């Protein structure tokens, strides 16, 4: 009998995952990951991880499976929290959920599970795993969840073949309402539980406040850049090569304070992210202001009016070789090769047509349509039909 360790998070998705695995005849063990100690940064008085671990325990009890808690807070702090601060200080915007899957759930946690004699690790993600044979080798595919509304393949975009080989996603074939229905029928305490918001495992944390405790506030100016800014309206030169063109198009405008007018003050450019609208506290503009860029060295935030401001849009982005990842290593492009794909630059975005161009220093992703708020530090993921084949950090 194959042994599966389920990451029971205290939510409905992982509860139903555990139930389905048991129905399928696996020997199932539930493990709750405690990843956070510092209760001073949660918003409300409730202690989210305590409540969640309790729910996870009750579900395990109901299903009649062994249950234990593992404390991964040290690794979590090191690999996720410290990394996030580091990225914010560089003026990039990290994605903790993608990292949490790569570094914690399918690495640290997976090692613990395999140490307990598990054949597989399962999570309650809305995605599917496929396995094909190619040149006599087994190759694992990361496929989108059938519930297009809930598809979470993006969050797993950094997984490797070795990690996928040991992974199971029992609810990938189901929709959220079906999952809740199963939980109700089985009288699982999590059936009606709201989906968790906030940082993967940190509970309800307000990110800026959380960061502010570590990053010192420093006052700087907010500059508004007009749509008439010359950089937006300059003629595009003729290029000697496609690569030159891509390099040109992937570069964002470089602003200085004199390119616009000062419209307010802020408490630290590193607290803001591109495309952000809330928290600027500047009134009196015809349309709301959006962050179009931040300069953490000079501590300046550049903004533009309205969500169609040209400063928000580009259609080419670049990923360096160091931050390029192929889930399907067998499909990795060689220098000079291109590939038509569907891609997204954030979790909730619908897939957009794009072309990958491999060059010696990395990979360009050229979108057919301009994308809003391409943000350094976030992940771009690309798909062939419903299969996620690779991803990278936007540089």
> How does pLDDT run across 183-212, given as a tens digit for each residue?
999 999 999 988 865 555 455 566 556 766
Q: Which of 19-28, 57-66, 264-273, 333-342 has the lowest mean pLDDT?
A: 264-273
Interatomic CA distance for residues 325 and 384, integer angstroms: 15
Distance CA 33, CA 394 (A): 29
Please give the residue that has the higher pLDDT: either 225 or 86.
225
Query: Is the pLDDT assigned to residue 302 strictly greater than 70?
Result: yes
pLDDT of the residue at 48: 67
- Quick one: pLDDT at residue 94? 87
- Give the per-residue pLDDT at 143: 98
Could you tell me the pTM of the whole model? 0.93
Instruction: Please say if the pLDDT value at position 124 is more than 50.
Output: yes
pLDDT of amino acid 217:
85
| Alpha-carbon gap, residue 129 to 141, rounded angstroms | 5
- Residues in contact with 112: Cβ distance below 8 Å, sequence separation at least 6, in sequence order: 31, 70
Dihedral (Cα; 35, 40, 41, 46), 10-degree rounding: 80
Backbone angles phi, psi at 382, to 5 degrees: -125, 150
How far is residue 155's CA from residue 184's CA, in Å, rounded to a whole number? 27
What is the arithmetic mean of pLDDT over 237-265? 96
Pair of tokens at residue 331: 């499909």
For the CA atoms of 270, 102, 98, 191, what is the dihedral angle to 10 degrees? Answer: -130
More confident residue, 212 or 161: 161
In this prediction, residue 201 carries a pLDDT of: 45
Phi, psi of 299 (to 5 degrees): 60, 50
pLDDT tens column, 38-66: 655 555 555 667 888 999 999 999 999 99
Q: What is the mean pLDDT of residues 284-292?
A: 94
| % of the chain with per-residue pLDDT over 90 | 79
The average pLDDT across 311-339 equals: 98
Q: Which residues on neighbouring strands pair with residue 356, listed in sequence order?
A: 339, 365
**Is residue 157 annotated as a catalytic residue, yes or no?**
no
From the list 47, 127, 157, 200, the catalytic residue is 200
In this prediction, residues 96-108 reach a mean pLDDT of 92
Q: Which of 48-62, 101-115, 337-351, 380-394 has the lowest mean pLDDT?
A: 48-62
> What pLDDT does 315 receive?
97
- Percent over 70 (pLDDT), the chain: 92
Q: For residue range 6-40, what is the model confidence (pLDDT) as tens digits?
A: 999 999 999 999 999 999 999 999 999 988 766 55
Residue 127 is a catalytic residue: no
The residue with tokens 């729910």 is 55
pLDDT class for 97, splitting at 50, 70, 90?
confident
Average the pLDDT over each of 198-212, 213-227, 323-337 and give the range with the smallest value. Answer: 198-212
Supply the DSSP string of 240-276, one letter for each residue.
SSHHHHHHHHHPPPPP-GGGSEEEEEES-GGG--TT-
* Model pLDDT, residue 46: 57
Q: What is the pLDDT of residue 206?
A: 60
DSSP β-bridge partners for residue 264: 222
For CA atoms 187, 192, 198, 203, give the dihedral sign: negative
Among the residue ranges 88-92, 150-154, 356-360, the one predicted with the least confidence is 88-92
The rounded Cα 199 to chain-centroid distance in angstroms is: 11
What is the DSSP code string of 274-291? Answer: TT--TT------SS-EEE
Catalytic residue among 47, 100, 127, 157: 100
Provide CATH code, domain 3-212.
3.40.50.620
328 pLDDT above the threshold of 70? yes
């Amino acid at each position: 009998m194959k042994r599966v360790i389920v990451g029971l998070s205290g939510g409905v998705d992982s509860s139903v995952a555990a139930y389905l695995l048991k129905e399928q005849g696996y020997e199932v063990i539930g493990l709750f990951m405690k990843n956070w100690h510092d209760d001073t940064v949660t918003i409300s008085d409730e202690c989210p991880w305590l409540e969640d671990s309790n729910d996870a325990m009750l579900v395990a009890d109901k299903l009649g499976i062994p249950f234990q808690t593992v404390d991964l807070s040290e690794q979590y702090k090191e690999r996720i929290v410290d990394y996030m601060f580091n990225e914010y200080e560089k003026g990039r915007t990290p994605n903790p959920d993608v990292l949490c899957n790569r570094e914690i759930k399918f690495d640290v946690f997976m090692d613990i599970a395999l140490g307990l004699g598990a054949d597989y690790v399962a999570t309650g993600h809305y995605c599917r795993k496929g396995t094909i044979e190619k040149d006599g080798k087994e190759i694992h595919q990361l496929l989108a969840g059938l519930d297009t509304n809930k598809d979470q393949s993006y969050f797993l975009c950094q997984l490797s073949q070795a990690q996928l080989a040991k992974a199971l996603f029992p609810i990938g074939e189901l929709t959220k309402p079906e999952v809740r229905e199963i939980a109700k029928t089985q009288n699982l305490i999590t059936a009606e539980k709201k989906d968790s918001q906030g940082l993967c495992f940190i509970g309800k944390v307000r990110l800026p406040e959380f960061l502010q405790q570590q990053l010192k506030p420093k006052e700087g100016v907010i500059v508004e850049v007009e749509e008439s800014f010359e950089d937006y309206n300059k003629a595009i030169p003729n290029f000697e090569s496609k690569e030159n063109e891509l390099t040109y198009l992937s570069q964002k405008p470089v602003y200085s304070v004199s390119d616009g007018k000062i419209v307010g003050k802020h408490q630290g450019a590193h607290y803001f992210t591109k495309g952000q609208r809330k928290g600027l506290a500047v009134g009196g503009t015809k349309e709301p202001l959006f962050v179009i860029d931040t300069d953490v060295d000079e501590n300046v935030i550049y903004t533009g009016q309205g969500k169609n401001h040209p400063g928000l849009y580009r259609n080419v982005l670049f990923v360096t070789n160091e931050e390029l990842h192929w889930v399907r290593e067998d499909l990795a492009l060689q220098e000079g090769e291109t590939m038509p794909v569907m891609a997204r630059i954030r979790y909730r975005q619908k897939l957009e047509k794009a072309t990958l161009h491999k060059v010696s220093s990395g990979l360009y992703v050229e979108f057919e349509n301009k994308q809003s708020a391409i943000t350094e530090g976030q992940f771009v993921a690309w798909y062939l039909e419903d299969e996620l084949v690779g991803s990278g950090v936007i540089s």
